[in-house]
């Protein structure tokens, strides 16, 4: 098959067996790859009762047809499973070199089930697969584990867990090439529960595309757009110079920089942790994922002081917020060090930082018997380690904000900033209404990366006029709830396609220079799937993936009541800044979104829509379990 290796590696760790399964053409055509392909397996292999930390929960490493083909930027891959943090669909993405190398090693997807009696790692070497003992690696951190495996398998790309994953911290990450992370939704804990310490991949398999000439011309066109067109040039300059760190300044300007556990959107010391400060004090060298000319990543070095000698990659915007403004911490060196520790121990920086910010507010309000002061970097650093090793109060935080709040009661729950159990990323719906809806409806919990719109956030006027000619003015209004259901549904559909291809959102969606007709050409030239020559069929593909993930969640009890926002954003007006006085009026946006998405007003997929998208079997299964009615 063009664009694919055509092979899935199946590993049953309980039986210590591996086998190779063919990737069915019909399945690839229907769900493409990436999160779409993974969702099709999670739907089939799990049910309402599957425990995310038990052996039967599948852990899936997945690429898309474009990975490894030379289309920039495609160095990414996804890890999907049921999440131990949220109990629902879990999905996390990482860049680096691992994704393409997995295909060069011979596989589009790794499907891992069971639990090994003793620690193992999976070595995949040009189609040859071996389960190797990892007893010598268990207990080691990410940096040492990666180095040791690379000694045993030179030239391999390594994805591994650290102590946090071994200790089943609910938001443990899987670290890739040491400093890249599949961080969100606790995929590292799923790996730890399977006693799988690492996966190493190496190979030279060639990935063929269907129409080489047109594919090459499209690569050149994408490059031209990115380097010659106005929006592309601006983004290139900004990402190349600052990565995502300059978002600190941008979000402060619109009053959307989460500060003091999301109490406000304004941080008085924003300039001490923003893009300019990062450039001046810690940023040393640009880095990139495989084949990417944008190079948004960077090496950070702390030259002197308490954390002097630290060398790491990042932090990115989200980490600057999680360990900076949200904890009222203006010490950039401490943020860089916390980021380094999370990478080393295998922790998601967003959930870790946000859990500590929550603890700081609990402490201030006297709701816990701990002294954890705002901006206290010594305590912050200690808590990162305590979470990874589940020591003392760190053990409570290791269960995530939602679980801790539920133990402490109603007052604590009002302060807990999460959706569906996932700690919120660095945005605030009060200052940007469509991101409020994005966080509320995201299938993996409070998250911007499934449907954030940069049209209204950054003011892409021309593009908004092209896409929504009648409604561009309202669509672009940051503070209006009107038409945001339409916008977010369209964005979620786009992201589902991008995350199934899998291509980076930079250079395609930020700036928003790729849309359905572009994906149509890319999919067709890569795979030869004729149906996808038509942009309307590409849109349907995105809808199918969105509804399948929603069906997985519906089967696990998710309804409209879960598509909500933290108490502060619904009930406490923004206290200052440009969005002063704003709260999120969610219901009107939710109704509009559900209608556009093809869901009932209770947030579940409509049977008729599932049928229209060729998913009758999914509809029948949900109807049989009494989750939806065939009448809708
Ligand atoms: S833009 Fe950044 S994250 Fe995306 S592929 Fe390039 S280096 Fe990786």
How far away, in angstroms, is 94 Cα from ligand 1 center?
10
Question: Predicted confidence band at 99 (pLDDT cuts at 50, 70, 90)?
Answer: very high
Question: Predicted confidence band at 289 (pLDDT cuts at 50, 70, 90)?
Answer: confident
| Cα–Cα distance for residue pair 215/168, rounded to 1 Å | 43
Atom of ligand 1 nearest to the CA of 73: 5
How far away, in angstroms, is 239 Cα from ligand 1 center?
9
How far away, in angstroms, is 557 Cα from ligand 1 center?
35
Residue among 73, 177, 245 to mutate when testing ligand 1 (max atoms within 8 A of CB)? 73
Residue among 232, 506, 507 to mutate when testing ligand 1 (max atoms within 8 A of CB)? 506
E-strand ranges in 527-596 read: none
Mean pLDDT of 44-70: 97
How far away, in angstroms, is 506 Cα from ligand 1 center?
7
pLDDT score at 336: 98
Q: Choose among 437, 478, 481, 436: nearest CA to 457.
A: 478
How far away, in angstroms, is 586 Cα from ligand 1 center?
33
Nearest 5°: the CA angle 36, 39, 40 is 90
Token pair for residue 126? 């040009």
pLDDT score at 603: 98
Question: Predicted confidence band at 238 (pLDDT cuts at 50, 70, 90)?
Answer: confident
How far away, in angstroms, is 319 Cα from ligand 1 center?
17
Residue among 99, 177, 297 to mutate when testing ligand 1 (max atoms within 8 A of CB)? 297
Q: What's the count of helices (H) and strands (E) in the chain, helices before strands?
A: 29, 17
Mean pLDDT lowest among 57-66, 73-82, 121-130: 73-82
How far away, in angstroms, is 291 Cα from ligand 1 center?
9
Residue among 504, 505, 509 to mutate when testing ligand 1 (max atoms within 8 A of CB)? 504
pLDDT score at 223: 83
pLDDT score at 500: 97
Question: Predicted confidence band at 45 (pLDDT cuts at 50, 70, 90)?
Answer: very high
Q: What is the mean pLDDT of the chain?
A: 96
Mean pLDDT of 555-576: 98
Please determine, for residue 425, whether its predicted confidence score (pLDDT) is greater than 90.
yes
CA dihedral 306, 310, 312, 317 (to 10 degrees): 20
Please determine, for residue 236, whether its predicted confidence score (pLDDT) is greater than 90.
no
**Per-residue pLDDT tens for 150-160?**
999 999 999 99
Mean pLDDT of 189-214: 97
Q: How far is CA 316 from CA 352, 391, 541, in A?
A: 14, 27, 31
**Residue 395, H or E segment:** helix 393-397
How far away, in angstroms, is 295 Cα from ligand 1 center?
6
How far away, in angstroms, is 293 Cα from ligand 1 center?
8
Which residues' Cβ are closer than 6 Å to ligand 1?
A: 73, 75, 95, 288-289, 292, 294-297, 504, 506
pTM for the model stands at: 0.97
Atom of ligand 1 nearest to the CA of 295: 7
Please determine, for residue 235, whether its predicted confidence score (pLDDT) is greater than 80.
no
In the 8-state DSSP scheme, what is residue 606? P
Query: Which residue carries 């922790």 as its tokens?
Result: 347
Instruction: Using the CB atoms, write b or e for 278-307: b if 16+ within 10 Å.
Output: beeebbeeebbbbebebbbbbebbbeeeeb
pLDDT score at 291: 82
Residue among 292, 315, 317, 505 to mutate when testing ligand 1 (max atoms within 8 A of CB)? 292
Please determine, for residue 507, whether its predicted confidence score (pLDDT) is greater than 80.
no
| Cα–Cα distance for residue pair 44/58, rounded to 1 Å | 10
Please determine, for residue 232, whether its predicted confidence score (pLDDT) is greater than 80.
no
**Per-residue pLDDT tens for 337-367?**
999 999 999 999 999 999 999 999 999 999 9
Percentage of residues of the chain with pLDDT beyond 90 = 91
Task: Output the residue whose Cα is nearest ligand 1's atom 4.
Answer: 504
Please determine, for residue 308, whether its predicted confidence score (pLDDT) is greater than 80.
yes
pLDDT score at 528: 98
């Amino acid at each position: 098959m063009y664009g694919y290796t055509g092979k899935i590696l199946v590993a049953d760790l309980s039986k210590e067996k591996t086998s190779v399964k063919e990737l069915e053409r019909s399945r690839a055509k229907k769900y493409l790859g990436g999160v779409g392909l993974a969702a099709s397996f999670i739907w089939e292999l799990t049910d309402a009762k599957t425990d995310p930390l038990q052996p039967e929960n599948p852990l899936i490493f997945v690429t898309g047809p474009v990975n490894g083909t030379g289309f920039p930027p495609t160095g990414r891959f996804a890890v999907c499973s049921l999440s131990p943090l949220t109990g629902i669909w879990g999905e996390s993405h990482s860049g680096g070199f691992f994704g393409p190398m997995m295909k060069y090693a011979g596989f589009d997807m790794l499907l891992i089930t069971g639990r090994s009696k003793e620690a193992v790692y999976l070595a995949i070497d040009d189609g040859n697969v071996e389960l190797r003992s990892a007893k010598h690696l268990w207990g080691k951190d990410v940096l040492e584990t990666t180095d040791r495996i690379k000694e045993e398998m030179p030239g391999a790309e390594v994805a591994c867990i650290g102590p946090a994953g071994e200790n089943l911290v609910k938001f443990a990450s899987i670290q890739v090439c040491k400093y890249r992370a599949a961080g969100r939704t606790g995929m590292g804990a799923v790996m730890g529960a399977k006693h799988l310490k690492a996966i190493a991949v190496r190979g030279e398999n060639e990935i063929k595309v269907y129409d080489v000439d047109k594919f090459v011309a499209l690569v050149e066109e994408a490059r031209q757009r990115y380097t010659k067109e106005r929006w592309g040039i601006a983004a290139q300059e900004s990402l190349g110079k600052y990565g995502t760190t300059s978002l600190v300044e941008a979000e402060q300007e619109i009053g959307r920089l989460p500060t003091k556990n999301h109490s406000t959107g304004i941080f008085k010391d924003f300039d001490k942790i923003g893009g300019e400060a990062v450039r001046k004090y810690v940023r040393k060298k640009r880095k990139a994922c495989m084949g990417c000319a944008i190079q948004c990543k960077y090496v950070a070095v702390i030259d002197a002081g308490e954390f002097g000698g630290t060398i790491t990659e990042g932090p990115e915007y989200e980490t600057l917020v999680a360990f900076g403004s949200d904890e009222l911490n203006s010490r950039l060196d401490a943020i860089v060090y916390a980021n380094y520790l999370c990478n080393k121990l295998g922790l998601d920086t967003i959930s870790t930082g946000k859990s500590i910010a929550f603890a700081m507010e609990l402490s201030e309000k006297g709701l816990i018997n701990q002294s954890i002061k705002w901006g206290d970097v010594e305590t912050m650093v200690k808590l990162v380690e305590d979470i990874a090793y589940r020591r003392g109060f760190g053990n409570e935080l290791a269960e995530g904000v939602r679980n801790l709040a539920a133990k402490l009661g109603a007052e604590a729950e009002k302060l807990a900033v999460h959706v569906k159990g996932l700690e919120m990323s660095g945005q605030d719906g009060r200052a940007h209404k469509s991101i409020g809806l994005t966080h509320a409806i995201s299938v993996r919990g409070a998250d911007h990366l499934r449907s954030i719109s940069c049209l209204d956030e950054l003011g892409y006027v021309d593009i908004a006029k092209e896409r929504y000619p009648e409604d561009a003015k309202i669509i672009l209004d940051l503070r209006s709830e009107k038409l945001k259901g339409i916008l977010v549904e369209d964005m979620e559909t786009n992201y589902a396609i991008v995350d199934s291809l899998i291509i980076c959102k930079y250079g395609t969606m930020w700036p928003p220079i790729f849309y359905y007709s572009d994906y149509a050409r890319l999919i067709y030239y890569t795979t030869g799937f004729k149906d996808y020559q038509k942009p309307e069929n590409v849109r349907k593909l995105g809808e199918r993936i969105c509804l399948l993930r929603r069906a997985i969640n519906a089967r696990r009890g998710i309804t409209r009541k879960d598509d909500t926002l933290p108490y502060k954003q619904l009930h406490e007006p923004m206290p200052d800044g440009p969005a002063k006085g704003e709260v999120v009026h969610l219901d009107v946006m939710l109704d509009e979104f559900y209608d556009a998405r093809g869901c009932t007003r209770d947030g579940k997929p409509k049977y008729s829509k599932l049928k229209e998208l060729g998913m009758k079997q999914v509809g029948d299964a949900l109807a049989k379990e009494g989750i939806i009615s065939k009448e809708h």
